[in-house]
Amino acid sequence: MSLSDKILKLKKEKKAVILAHNYQRPEIQDIADYVGDSIELSRKASDEQDAEIIVFSAVDFMAESAAILNPDKKVLLPCLGARCPMAQMLTVDEIRRAKKLYPNAPVVLYVNTLASCKASCDICCTSANAVEVIKSLDSDTVLFGPDKNLAEYVSEKTGKKLIPIPANGFCPTHLLFQVEDVKILKMQYPEAIAMVHPECSSEMRKAADFIGSTSKMCRFAKESHAKDFIVGTDEGILHRLRKENPQKNFYLAYEGAICPNMKLTTLDRLYTALKEEKNVVKVPEIVAKKARASLERMFEVKS
């Protein structure tokens, strides 16, 4: 029996569900019950009723959100070392300092943050709904963290002033993309459409034909009549894009754009975590309660 089949068997026996992010390895995406972006996975985790275990194949903050939103389920992160470096860039102290400087500005945090930070903000957002979340607020000045690029993008879209906390939070994987790579690919494939994630630099965003979250990119590629696409996000998304659009071509804007943390989830690690029911993600209820409120406020915003 293959390892994938063993996992599928075990999953049934243990009444588990596997949620996987669009950046996960192809073999993980193929055994998952659901593959999606961070907002979709949070909603799935929150709505899950039947399963007793949620195996969250992604990075720490996403699994934490699942544990916060559905505290009655056992949430497993196959590799506890799978951390998002951007999420580590913001601390509660930094939020406190910013609040002192701008006492009237609401604090909006990208879900790529630790639970303790989510507990200290007014509302969360993801790259799929950040524009709508900011628009939904009364204030024209907003404290926003930790991604400076996303802050810039949302500010351009809404005309509001977003003060980044920390001053320069970023995603090391999306920082690797360079406009020159897009230009070279456009020369090779003149009809190609460039899709990039809002975590990319402003230069990359300017060179893009479409900017959106990972699942928005998948939807856009499916609905577009174009045949060739240049992709500015982690390479893991290519598996889903190619699977859903076998007649279309997808070219990664930079071959080295691989989030090492997302790739820490392997079949081996997932199997062991599920078999031993280990790597349980726990968030103390005192933190979870406040963080849940910030996430639920985000769900209420129409996007």
Binding site for ligand 13P (CB under 6 A): 22, 37-38, 112, 126-128, 171, 197, 199, 213-214
Q: What is the DSSP string of 224-288?
A: ---SEEEEES-TTHHHHHHHH-TTSEEEESSTT---TTGGG--HHHHHHHHHHT-SB----HHHH
Q: What is the largest CA-CA distance in the chain?
A: 60
Residues 86-105 that bind ligand SF4 (CB under 6 A): 86
Q: Which of 106, 133, 255 has the alpha carbon at shortest distance from 198?
A: 133
Interface mask toward ligand SF4 for 33-62; x: CB under 6 A:
--------------------------x---
Strand partners for 141: 161
Nearest distance from C-beta of residue 115 to ligand SF4, angstroms: 15
- The span from the CA of 269 to the CA of 267, in Å, is 6
* Binding status of residue 262 toward ligand SF4 by CB under 6 A: yes
Residues 57, 155, 201, 261: which binds ligand SF4 (CB under 6 A)? 261
Contact call for residues 266 and 25 (beta carbons, < 8 A): yes
Using CB under 6 A, which of the segments 67-75, 148-156, 258-266, 293-301 binds ligand SF4?
A: 258-266
Angle between helix 267-276 and helix 3-13 axes, rounded to 10 deg: 30
- Nearer CB in complex with ligand 13P: 76/87: 87
Contact call for residues 200 and 232 (beta carbons, < 8 A): yes
- Nearer CB in complex with ligand SF4: 260/284: 260
- Nearer CB in complex with ligand SF4: 155/214: 214
Q: Which residues bind ligand SF4 (CB under 6 A)?
A: 59, 84-86, 112, 171-174, 199, 234, 259, 261-262
